[in-house]
Structure 1
Amino acid sequence: MNVDDWRMNIRGVEDHEKVKKRPVKFNFDPSLPTAHSYLGNDLEEYSGRTIHDDESYVSLPLMPITNVVLIPGQTIPLQLIEPRAISMMRHVLQKDRTFGVVSFGRDLEHGVSSVGTTAEIYSVKEINEGGLESMKIKAMGRQRFKIMDITRQADGNMVGKVQILPDKDIVDPLHGARFNSYYQKRALSPVEESMNILNPKRRRNKLLEAHLTWWPPWVYQMYDPEYLMALIKEELRSWYEGSIKLNTIPQNPSDFSFWVASIIPIDDSQRLSLLKVNSSVQRMRCELDLLKKCTVLCCKGCGLQIANKNDVFCMSLDGPMAAYVNPGGYIHETLTLYRAQNLNLIGRPSTENSWFPGYAWTIIQCRHCSGHMGWKFKATKRKLRPEKFWGLTRSALMPSMSQEGGETTSWQPVL
């Protein structure tokens, strides 16, 4: 097979123009990607949940992972083939099934990030084929932690003394100024309140007591969790135009802020900045600022524009981006888009280990720098919709942040 047969280039601009509208007919089951069926359907399931006390100190086995910053509430799939990693997980399974996930990088102290997230195993399968051992795992991010000290065991595995970080909620600053009738006659539930808080009349009523204080209403509104959640939901609608089911996302402010952090296509340093924030209100303020400024997604290697924010849509109940693992054990947090540009197709379509059942994948590269960008997915059945979509790996993307005057810059959290 010659190079021309193997390399099939498609002009990204032409693909971009062919798909002008977001898919209307959508019969793919979005619950399938969340099951990670490519790992197999015979994994052993575990129940129960381990929760460490806030600000407590615990010892955790640490797993450094490249290009991954685990967020509480996020599922992380693993395919382990290294003997020392498998040995560590066996030890974890004998205890509380909990280990720590930290981001790996040569520029970091000890080679890992100073903050991480506990991961609790809920599905696992050990495989022994001809003396070659491997392990498939599904785990859930639980609690944030800060590394206080790291020791390396004789087998090379890392154990960290960590402090569990609480997520502090800001108490209603107007609580002392509110009339008792506000609580007695409140007709809406907290969820309904967050969905209707953008109503000008309700907003005025909610902040009515601010006139009895030294500060104007807008000051309190900046730190109101329900109002921030409503603003972020409105911003997400402009990104995903109805492809995201708002009734399936977390309604608790803390869980909601973590969920938003897990679906924004930002780089590791920006995601670590969100993970370090100790308040759901402050985290949502950062996320809102980020969502408003991020308009274009570019190749991290050369800066070439690949997509716009409104090209993103949801193929999974987890949201527009989720973590998947390939047979080699490399984890890709993959963002799904219904159109993209400036990409070349490399190789031939394959259905093997497809993260989206019913779709064949083809590797895609940046047309300018030839960096790996992700995959193009195409339906293998005629009636399956959408017919095609793109999955871009977060590690290859760089969001372009718009500023006044049309300039772009990198993003820093606004607290």
Structure 2
Amino acid sequence: MEDNVSSDQEEGSNERGSGSERRGGGSSENDEESDEEEQQFDISLAASHSYMGNGLVQVSGRSVLEAGWTGRVPVIAHHGAVFPGETVPMLLTNERDAAVISRAIQHDKLFGLLCPDESGTLVSGYGVLCEVFEADAGVGEGEGEGPRSLSFKARATHRFRCVHVPKQSVPIHAFSRMRTVEVRVLPEVRLGDPLRPARLASLDALRRARTPLDARLRSMDAAVTPWPLFVYDIFDYRRMRQIIKDYFRTMSLENLPEEAVSLSFWTASNLALSARDRLALFAVDDALLRLHMEVRLIARKSVLCCSSCAVEIARREHIFAMSSEGVHSNYTNLGGYMHDIVTVSRASNTELSGAPSAEFSWFPGYAWTIALCAACLAHVGWRFDAQRRGLRPQQFYGLCRNYVQPRCDGAGAGAGAARSLSAEMRAARRAMSALVYAPRDDADP
């Protein structure tokens, strides 16, 4: 019997050995398959906001507004400045708010998001008009009972200013529900090349590309004006666009808008800025002035810190894009709260809270875990972990932009730099007004 047992054990051992060989072979095959299946995350998925479900349908019709347009639209408070061009996903859980937007979809599809002031507690008087382009199926098609909740996607289109701004301070929470307000669309100024009046038309054929010859010609043009060339170069659009392009190339973002106004808004949306700086840029009407200040902000080395205790959370070089819209996007949660998220490849001084969950994940294929500041335990964002081994990146962080604040990476430079931005903008505006600008020429680069 012992022989039988031993022989059985040997046979079992042989079977296990052959099985492990088979498993080993399978494991190498699986490794090869996993290597073959390794793929980069499709950043267009995040921009589509697929977590909102498949029930959203396209809303037909568009509203065309011009600067100076005045009208009454429903508005609601937001916790930060939203720039034209940004996508605004919203989930309204309040029945009255849902009914207001449902009626707006039937009318002109417009509503507004109010910007708070620098403190984040009062109404600034500024806001952005948004146009609904996708909404729950059946919304706005009949006169029956309104929806109890409403999911929709909108796109920010125009900056506005409230027509009747109260003289006394109004708390931002007074607009926590939809209210109808009269607004006026603000102009978007795109000034022409200030050296155009000094140009020799016979040399225009040589100005097509940014070459040493072109720089020489600009120097000749400036020689017959009261100002030296470097003054004009400060507000040269091609120079500023190249600086912005070089900066975002490090984040794998190269498809920048070509037009100055669109580029200024896109850049402001994707820079890590304080609420004060964002509001200051939002209030500017001149695209070149806005770009000039953004170039100044790019030159500052900054880190992202916890807004509660100022401990460092991430560095600017760790910012990268997980959405085709850029390094920043707006996302909404199940409770209807919209977060401004900036994605970073790594974060420090954080600790996790709770178990990972893939429910309502903004990035398909990733599970999220709440991330807290390790120093003060304030909420700063989420960590996202890939659910498949072959998905890249395997891990990243989504930081709430209103829970982290940028700080200049230098001894005491951050606060002074933030305080001086408005003063710098006033000085730059005076410098621009001293130059003689030509009318805008769309054919001019």
Bucket of the pairwise TM-score, normalised by the shorter protein: 0.7 to 0.9
Q: Is 1:245 matched up with 2:257?
A: no
Cα separation, 2, equivalents of 1:91 and 1:257:
33
Distance 1:225 1:138, change over 3 A: same
Q: Is 1:279 matched up with 2:300?
A: no
Cα separation, 2, equivalents of 1:57 and 1:338:
44
Q: Which residue of 1 aligns with 2:29?
A: none
User: Could you report, residue by residue, the CA deviation over 1:3-52 in whole angstroms, capped at 9, with x for unpaired residues?
Assistant: xxxxxxxxxxxxxxxxxxxxxx8611010000000001231102443122
Q: Is 1:166 matched up with 2:172?
A: no
Q: Is 1:332 matched up with 2:347?
A: no
Q: Which residue of 2 aligns with 1:262?
A: 269
Q: Does the CA contact (< 8 Å) of 1:78 and 1:137 recur in 2? A: yes
User: Could you report, residue by residue, the CA deviation over 1:330-389 in whole angstroms, capped at 9, with x for unpaired residues?
Assistant: 111111111110000111111111100111111000000100011001110111001111
Equivalent of 1:133, from 148, 167, 173?
148
Q: Is 1:29 matched up with 2:42?
A: yes
- What percent of counterpart residues are identical? 33
Letter in 1 for 2:71: V
Cα separation, 1, equivalents of 2:389 and 2:377:
31
Q: Which residue of 1 aligns with 2:162?
A: 147
Cα separation, 2, equivalents of 1:252 and 1:340:
34
Cα separation, 1, equivalents of 2:275 and 2:118:
13
Q: Which residue of 2 aligns with 1:99?
A: 111
How far the C-alpha of 1:125 sits from its partner, in A, is 0.8
Question: The residue matched to 1:226 in structure 2 has which SS?
Answer: helix
Q: Which residue of 2 aligns with 1:192?
A: none
Counting strand residues as a fraction of each chain, which structure ranks higher?
1
Q: Which residue of 1 aligns with 2:57?
A: 44
How far the C-alpha of 1:181 sits from its partner, in A, is 2.9
User: Could you report, residue by residue, the CA deviation over 1:231-256 in whole angstroms, capped at 9, with x for unpaired residues?
Assistant: 2222334xxx2x3331x221101000
Cα separation, 1, equivalents of 2:221 and 2:118:
52
Q: Does the CA contact (< 8 Å) of 2:98 and 2:147 recur in 1? A: no
User: Could you report, residue by residue, the CA deviation over 1:297-326 in whole angstroms, capped at 9, with x for unpaired residues?
Assistant: 110000001111101111111111110000
Q: Which residue of 2 aligns with 1:360?
A: 367
Question: The residue matched to 2:68 in structure 1 has which SS?
Answer: coil
> Could you say what the CA RMSD is over the residues aligned between the two structures, in angstroms?
2.6
Distance 1:201 1:313, change over 3 A: farther
Q: Which residue of 2 aligns with 1:342?
A: 349
Distance 1:381 1:52, change over 3 A: same
Q: Does the CA contact (< 8 Å) of 1:169 and 1:280 recur in 2? A: yes
Q: Is 1:179 matched up with 2:200?
A: yes
Counting helix residues as a fraction of each chain, which structure ranks higher?
2
Letter in 2 for 1:40: G
Q: Which residue of 2 aligns with 1:13?
A: none
Cα separation, 2, equivalents of 1:327 and 1:132:
17
Q: Which residue of 2 aligns with 1:233?
A: 245
Cα separation, 2, equivalents of 1:163 and 1:294:
37
Q: Does the CA contact (< 8 Å) of 1:119 and 1:140 recur in 2? A: yes
Q: Is 1:408 matched up with 2:414?
A: yes
Cα separation, 1, equivalents of 2:202 and 2:124:
48
Cα separation, 1, equivalents of 2:239 and 2:219:
11
How far the C-alpha of 1:282 sits from its partner, in A, is 0.6
Cα separation, 2, equivalents of 1:282 and 1:118:
22
Distance 1:299 1:206, change over 3 A: same
User: Could you report, residue by residue, the CA deviation over 1:47-71 in whole angstroms, capped at 9, with x for unpaired residues?
Assistant: 4431222122222211212x23211
Cα separation, 2, equivalents of 1:339 and 1:314:
13
Q: Is 1:204 matched up with 2:216?
A: yes
Moved more, 377-386 or 293-302: 293-302
Q: Which residue of 2 aligns with 1:81?
A: 93
Cα separation, 2, equivalents of 1:335 and 1:100:
23
Cα separation, 2, equivalents of 1:51 and 1:268:
29
> Which residues of structure 1 form unaligned runs of 5+?
1-24, 189-196
How far the C-alpha of 1:142 sits from its partner, in A, is 0.3
Moved more, 327-336 or 288-297: 288-297
How far the C-alpha of 1:402 sits from its partner, in A, is 4.6
Distance 1:44 1:132, change over 3 A: closer
Cα separation, 1, equivalents of 2:320 and 2:366:
16
Q: Does the CA contact (< 8 Å) of 2:117 and 2:279 recur in 1? A: no
Distance 1:230 1:48, change over 3 A: farther
Q: TM-score, normalised by structure 2?
A: 0.78
How far the C-alpha of 1:207 sits from its partner, in A, is 4.2
> Which residues of structure 2 form unaligned runs of 5+?
1-37, 140-145, 167-173, 426-445
Q: Which residue of 2 aligns with 1:17?
A: none
How far the C-alpha of 1:283 sits from its partner, in A, is 0.5
Alignment length, in residue pairs? 371
Equivalent of 2:304, from 297, 309, 333?
297
